[in-house]
Structure 1
């Protein structure tokens, strides 16, 4: 994806507020051999761009003053309740330097698996994205995960999937986290008709029989 940005010289809270009033969004691009550059972007174009998955998970072409640079989206600051992007950060990408990025997981084949069709298990996507490290040229837009092999009682873990060439998963806390959980649904126990009838019998007769009153002499 390609977008156009413009250098900005003004800075500070007041300058950023005035910039937003004119329909522009302040931002910054940093990293690489060059110093950080303050930028501004058209808010409407940016608003539509951030709704696209590729804008968050792929290397972008940013044009400033006719020069195109490779960048990654690193942070988007939204207004607490308005549909307004208050600030945006990009990082320059160097071709010979590894990068770390969260990549979306695209699941498919779930409804064709035995876990779903035969055993009617409850299948939950625990993770929808995976943090990876790779060279810029190897960064995938998404990672495809085939779920047709899911079985009852066997969840899918990170080490169960094949990552694209040159891509390594970065996991924190757990060595092999769960991507997709497979849980058998609880079986509904049908009531025993005979037991239900026995329990209802005293109520139908008005409860326990009353005690006999001794006859008076």
Structure 2
């Protein structure tokens, strides 16, 4: 379920007006998309910080505007401590959208302990989903990644209704044997051959 986020309409725009809003504990925002008029808004900073803590990518706007929205962009100050501006994109909850999500490794790679060289090749992935099925992360389970194996996009764990748009055979992570080439590695869960060893 999306977080509820109360927004207030703002009629004054520009650098000085936005700075004043921030001094008063608000974050300037804008809502656009679906061919509708762009709306200038503001949100309480503490509400934005709570949204970030929850890891919300979609929100249900309430108050001056009532609409489901995707957090398209959140700008921060130079230290990454104060939110400066938010771009909201109107969405239909059942509409297919494309988002980029980070790949999260879970588990310990047994192949690395056995002498293989572990490497994460992809760190994020493009996912097609609806607002309701949007994942926070794509999970890569490396607990079965033996030396000589690779973990591919097809092995990523995503919620039902979401799928990666990249090639299923693209390598996410590898654990190669000494002098082994990536193209000679086998899929995760497949016993590696020792043909490269003398």
For normalisation by structure 2, the TM-score amounts to: 0.74
- The DSSP-based 3-state class of the residue aligned with 1:5 is strand
What is the aligned counterpart of 2:77 among 76, 79, 90?
79
Shift of 1:96: 3.8
Kindly indicate whether the alpha-carbon contact (under 8 Å) linking 2:117 and 2:147 is maintained by their aligned counterparts in 1.
Answer: no
1:124 lines up with 2:130 in the alignment: no
Distance 1:82 1:123, change over 3 A: closer
Among candidates 133, 137, 156, match of residue 151 of structure 2: 156
1:134-213 to 2 correspondence within 5 Å? Answer: 134-161=129-156, 163-171=158-166, 176-184=169-177
Q: Does 1:12 align with 2:7?
A: no
More helix by share: 1
1:61 aligns with 2:60: yes
Distance of 2:26 and 2:19 partners within structure 1: 10
Structure 1 moving runs of 4+ over 4 Å: none
**Cα deviation 1:54-91 (Å, max 9, x = unaligned):** 22xx42222123x6421111111222247322211111
* Distance in structure 2 (CA, Å) of the matches to 1:170 and 1:60: 24
Aligned in 2, Cα 1:32/1:164: closer, same or farther, shift over 3 Å?
A: same
Shift in CA distance, 147/49, structure 1 to aligned 2, threshold 3 Å: same
SS in 2 for 1:2: strand
Which residue of structure 1 lines up, in the alignment, with residue 39 of structure 2? 37
Give how far 1:134 is off: 2.1
Distance 2:6 2:178 in 1: 51
After TM superposition, the score normalised by the length of structure 1 is 0.68
Q: Aligned partners of 1:167 and 1:83: how far apart in 2?
A: 31
More strand by share: 2
Secondary structure of the 1:136 match is: coil
RMSD between superposed Cα atoms in Å? 2.7
Moved more, 97-106 or 16-25: 97-106
Aligned residues: 177
